[in-house]
Chain A
C-alpha cells in the first residue's frame, strides 16, 4: 500500500509541475464582465455593463483574430473576496483575457491584485478611486470613465469658487469614499474653503437620519455626499425629510443618471454634479443611447457608456496588434487615441488613466423637463487635461 501511495504522490507532483505554467495567450479573446448584478450599484454598472460590453462586441463584428469573441459575466456582490475568487478562477482556469465592468473600488482593488500578477488587462469602468493609477498602478490597468479627482475638480471646485466655503462630508466607508473625501478636501483647501466635519456610513446604509442630523448641526454651507448609487439617493431623501436641503446645499459628488432619475426633482433641482457622459449631449450620444435604451430599458449611465468605449478600444487594439498578448495589446491601446461617442479628446495615458472631456451638469427642475430622461442641463465642459490628476513618475509605464 505504501509503495502505491508513494508512486501516486510522485505522479501527482510531476503532474502538478507540468500544469503549473502561466496560461499563455491562446489567440482567442475572452472578456469577463464582473459587476454588481443585484446590489446597491446594480443600476450603475450591473446588467447594463454587460449589455454595453455585448453591444461593443457586436459592433466590432463578433470576432477577432479569426475566432469568435467570448463573453462571460459574474456578480461580484460588491464583496472583495467574492470578486477576487471569481477573477482568480477566470484568469487561472477559464482563460479569460481581460476583465471589465468593475464597480466599487474595494472590489476593483481586490481584482487588480489578482490580474496585475497574472498579467491580465483590466478595463475599469465603474470604480472611482484614483489609486489605480497612483499608488496601486500597474501596466495592465486601463481606468476608463472617471475618477475621484475628476469629480472633485468638477463639482467641488465650482461650488467652492461660488462662495460655499464650509463643508461637511457624509462618506461611504470604504476605499472609494475615503479617496473621494480625501481628494475633495484637498481641492476645498486649495481654493480657500474648510472642512468642518465628516461622518462615515457603511456601504448599503438605508437609514441616513443620524448622519443627516450630525450634518445639520455642523454649521456647514455644503453637505457633500461622498457616496454613490442608492446610498446617494437614500441620503438625499433623508436630508430632504429633515429639512436640511432648505438650510444647506447638498452636493452629490458622484451621481449616475439612474440615481439622478430616482431623485425627487423638488429636492434635487439645481444640484451640480460632474459626469463623464450624458446621453443627450449631441447626435452621436443620442444615437448610441437610443440603441442602448431599447435593449436595456433605461438610459445609459456613464459607466455603461464607458464599458462600451473601453471594450471597443480594447478589441481594436487586439486587432491592430494581431495578438491577445497583454503587453502588446496595452501598448497598442496607449498608442492610439480612443475615438467614439463617449471618448472626446481622449487618450489612454502611460499610467493607465484614460482622460477625456468631463461635463459639469445641473439637475433640471420638474418644470423644465421635456420627458423622464431629460434630467441634466450641461453647464460646462471640463477639458481632459484639467479634469484629471497629473501622471506620477512611478506609474509611467511607457517604456
Chain B
C-alpha cells in the first residue's frame, strides 16, 4: 500500500513547484522532515521530547555559520550541522533517557531552554537579529542553489533521504524493539533488551534528523534565527505530528503541510491577529475528536469501509 502511495506522491512532489511557490514547498518539506524525526521518537519509541527545537536550531546555526565563515559547499555544511545536532542529541539523550514519561519531557525541555539561552547570548548567533544573509552556495561546488527551483529539488532529495532512513529504521529489527518498548517497557527489559541504549539511539537518530531539517531550512531561507530554538517550535512540532497522526509514517508529513499552509495563509489575511487562537482551536478539536490524526483517521476509514 505504501509503495503505491509513494508512486503517487513522488511525481506530485516533483511537479508541485510548477504550480506552487517553491520556497513555500521547501519550507513544508523542512518541517515535514522535522516532524518525521520527532515522530520517530514519539510515535515509535513512545518518548515525548519537548526540546526538539534545540536540535533544529543547532543544525541551522552550525550550517549557517559554516556557510558564512568557512566557504564549505552546502552539502558539507549540512552534514556538519547534522553531526553537530546529533552530538548534542547524544549528550542530551544520555541524560534524558534515564527518566520516563513527564520527567523525560521536562528534562528535554530544560536542556532545550539551556540551549536557547546559550544561543541568545552567544555572539555568533546575533541574538534577536538572527544569523542573516547565509549564502546558499553551490552544491558540490557545481550547481548554483540560488535558484528556488533547484533549491527545492535539493530539499526534496534531502527529505526523501530522511524519510527513507526513518522508514528503514521503523521496519528494522531495531524499530521492532522500539515498538516493544513503547508498548510494554518492563516486558522488553525482561526479554533481555538494554532498553536505555535503544531509547538513546532512537533519540540520537531523531535529533540528527531534526538538525538535518534545521540545516536545510537555514539554507532555504538564508537565515537562522531564535524562532527555531524557542520552545514554541518544540510545541509546534508536537502539533504537526498530532494533527497529522502520531505513529504513522505519513502523518507528520500531512500535519506539517497542514500547519505550515495554515500559518502561511492566515498570516497574510484578515485573521492574522488570531493565528494563535485558531491554531489552538485546531489542536483542541484534534485532540478531542480525532486523536489518531488526519492520516490515522483516514487509515481507519479505509479499514472500516473497504
Contact = CB atoms under 8 A, between A and B. Distances in A.
Contacts of B273: 37-38, 75
Nearest to A200: B127
B17 A174 contact: no
Interface in B185-231: 221-223, 225, 227-228
B14 A8 contact: yes
Interface stretch (B103-111, B145-153, B157-165, B246-254): B145-153
B150 A16 contact: yes
B147 A20 contact: yes
A81 B130 contact: yes
Interface in B1-59: 11, 14-15, 17-18, 21, 23-24, 27
A399 interface: no
B132 A80 contact: yes
B176 interface: no
A93 B21 contact: yes
A203 B130 CA distance: 13
B147 A16 contact: yes
Interface in A1-19: 8-9, 12, 15-17, 19
A122 to B, nearest CB: 15
Interface stretch (A105-113, A235-243, A290-298, A354-362): A105-113
A9 B157 CA distance: 13
Contact of A81 (B14, B149, B225): B225
A89 B23 contact: yes
Q: Which interface residue of B129, B147, B227, B272 has the most chain A CB atoms within 10 A?
A: B129
B11 A109 contact: no
A94 to B, nearest CB: 9
A85 B150 contact: no
Interface string B260-281: 0000000110001101000000
A202 interface: yes
A80 B129 contact: yes
Main secondary structure, interface of A, reads helix
A80 B60 CA distance: 14
B220 to A, nearest CB: 9
A92 B267 contact: no
Contact of A85 (B148, B149, B153, B221): B221
B286 interface: no
B71 interface: no
B151 to A, nearest CB: 10
Interface string A75-102: 1010111101110110011000000000
B222 A12 contact: no
B128 A89 contact: no
25 contacts: A9-B14, A12-B14, A12-B15, A16-B153, A17-B149, A19-B18, A37-B272, A75-B275, A81-B221, A81-B228, A84-B222, A85-B27, A88-B23, A92-B148, A93-B23, A105-B129, A106-B130, A109-B132, A110-B223, A113-B222, A173-B127, A174-B127, A174-B128, A174-B129, A202-B120
Interface of A: 8-9, 12, 15-17, 19-20, 37-38, 72-75, 77, 79-82, 84-86, 88-89, 92-93, 105-106, 109-110, 113-114, 173-175, 202-203
